[in-house]
Amino acid sequence: MEETISLKELFETLRKRLSLILLLTFTAAVVAAIFSFFVITPIYQVSTQILVNRSTVGENFNTNEVQTNIQLINTYSGIITSPRILDIVSEELNGKYTTAELKEKVTVQSEDNSQILGVVVEDPNPNEAAKIANKIGEVFQREVVKIMNVDNVNILTPAEVPDDISPVKPKPFLNIAIAIVVGLMAGVGLAFLYEYLDHTLKTEQDIERYLELPVLGVITTIEATEGPFHKKQRGRGETK
């Protein structure tokens, strides 16, 4: 006999396991909140902007030179995060960070058809992040002349720490929202899994469905409220 599951049965399963679903959802949200607010170290992000402009100033504006500078953006991005630059940065920061540590902190961003590079640094200390970003910009501006034999890089905006800076990682409310969704999905999944693994017959409908036998009668359970059975007969006129 082919089994079919109705929406009513699905909702009944969810209703029976509602406490489990709510418990898992609440637990996931609490764990995410604890990790987001008390365990994970906040990370701040500070950036400096570097302008790749014309190497010479003249009356004749050469658009081909601008396009060449734009095409050099990807090359400059690679140079900024290369050991050639970061080794010097590490040395000028008194060896506080290794080249590998600096590389993990630094991200170079660029926009299409733009001559502006953004050097983004992430660190638990925003002031330290600004210091690293400015030092990278300074070293790159100085060393690119030796590497590329061109002097077309300028610091457009030095890195500064705003008064209202907030961490970019973690994002507690986003983490909690994700945890709630995951906990809810896990609770629903476990509810249906328990129901699937539960093969006990609980109602007369289960007997008809799984055993394909007709139900002739149902014995109702009667709970005693006054002790021995004979004490229940007082309502028929007995006195004591």
Of the residues 110, 126, 157, the one at which a domain ends: 157
Query: Total domain count for the chain?
Result: 2
* Whether pLDDT at 225 is above 70: no
- Please give the residue range of the domain that contains residue 80: 44-157
| Same structural domain, 49 and 130 | yes
| Same structural domain, 75 and 152 | yes
CB 195 within 8 A of CB 17: yes
**pLDDT tens-place string over residues 133-168:** 999 999 999 999 999 887 888 999 999 999 999 999
**pTM for this entry:** 0.69
**pLDDT tens-place string over residues 35-70:** 999 999 999 999 999 998 755 444 444 556 666 667
- Arithmetic mean of pLDDT over the chain: 82
- Percentage, residues of the chain above pLDDT 90: 52
pLDDT for the residue numbered 69: 65
* Whether pLDDT at 116 is above 80: yes
| Same structural domain, 107 and 193 | no
Question: Residue 113 is part of a domain; what is its CATH number?
Answer: 3.30.70.1130
Query: Given pLDDT bands bounded at 50, 70 and 90, which one contains residue 235?
Result: very low
pLDDT for the residue numbered 239: 42
Peptide bond into 170 cis (omega under 30): yes
**pLDDT tens-place string over residues 173-217:** 999 999 999 999 999 999 889 878 876 766 666 666 666 667 666
| Same structural domain, 26 and 49 | no
Of the residues 131, 157, 183, the one at which a domain ends: 157
pLDDT for the residue numbered 40: 93
| Same structural domain, 57 and 75 | yes
